[in-house]
Structure 1
Amino acid sequence: MGARRDAFDTIGGFPEGFTRCEDIAFGWLLADAGIDLGYAEDAVVHYRHRPGLWTMIRQHHFYGIGMTEVIERQGLPGGKAPSGMLAANGQRVTQRSIIHILRRGAIASGRLRGLARERSTRLGREEPSR
Structure 2
Amino acid sequence: MKRIVSVIVVLFVLFQLKGQEINQLDKIIISSIKSYIIDDKDFVRQQDTSRYYICMDGLPADFPCDSVQNATFFSLKNLEGLPNSFKHQLKTGIKTLFVGLKISNNQIIITVSGRVVRRLKKNDTSIGICD
Given the two structures, how large is their TM-score scaled by the length of structure 2? 0.31
Given the two structures, how large is their TM-score scaled by the length of structure 1? 0.31
Q: Which has more radius of gyration?
A: 2
Greater relative CO, 1 or 2 (CA 8 Å, sep 6+): 1
Q: Which has the higher strand share?
A: 2
